Structure 1
Amino acid sequence: MPNEPTEQSHRVTLTGDGPILVQGPVEVVLDDGSAVCSDRFIVALCVCRRSRTYPWCDTSHRARKKRRPA
């Protein structure tokens, strides 16, 4: 069944305003074709691109002010 996890599957968690959480180990291929690896149990991937340790999240997104509806 397509929505059933397999032994090789990894859990990815979307966190709204924060990073994407991925159960590791994980290899991330960047825009330039280079790859970075982590063997941690869970990793946080930056989606705002403000992280100094991109592609890993360093919580830089927390400093971003949220827009108020007009």
Structure 2
Amino acid sequence: MPNEADRPRRLTVERNGPVLVEGPVEIVREDGTIATSDRFVVAVCTCRRSRMYPWCDTSHRRHTKPPGAAPPD
């Protein structure tokens, strides 16, 4: 998938959440299949709890740590 040369692709890392990617995007999965989205911003799951993996469905919100817990490394 070629990127447009006129600007870099922007990724935003959300603490304890998804990676937001300016779209459109293609993600190559471990098995070689390709997931595509033509949305202007895509939330990519980093916790692997999503039922729509590799896309984020906010499942990470249901598994938050109690207040005062140490953040992940």
TM-score (norm 2): 0.80
Partner of residue 33, structure 1:
32
Q: CA RMSD in A?
A: 1.4
Post-superposition offset of 1:54:
0.4
Deviations 1:20-66 (A, max 9, x none): 00000000011111111000000000000000000000000000131
What residue number does 1:21 align with? Answer: 20
Q: Quick one: which amino acid aligns to residue 14 of structure 1?
A: V
Distance in 1 between the 2:33 and 2:7 partners? 23
Residue 58 of structure 2 is matched in structure 1 by 59
Percent same amino acid at aligned positions?
Answer: 55
- Gaps of at least 5 residues in structure 1 are 1-5
State the SS of the aligned residue for 2:64: coil
Letter in 1 for 2:53: Y
TM-score (norm 1): 0.83
Question: Tell me, what secondary structure is at the counterpart of 1:40?
Answer: coil
Tell me the secondary structure at the aligned position of residue 36 of structure 2. strand
CA distance in 2, matches of 1:29, 1:18: 20
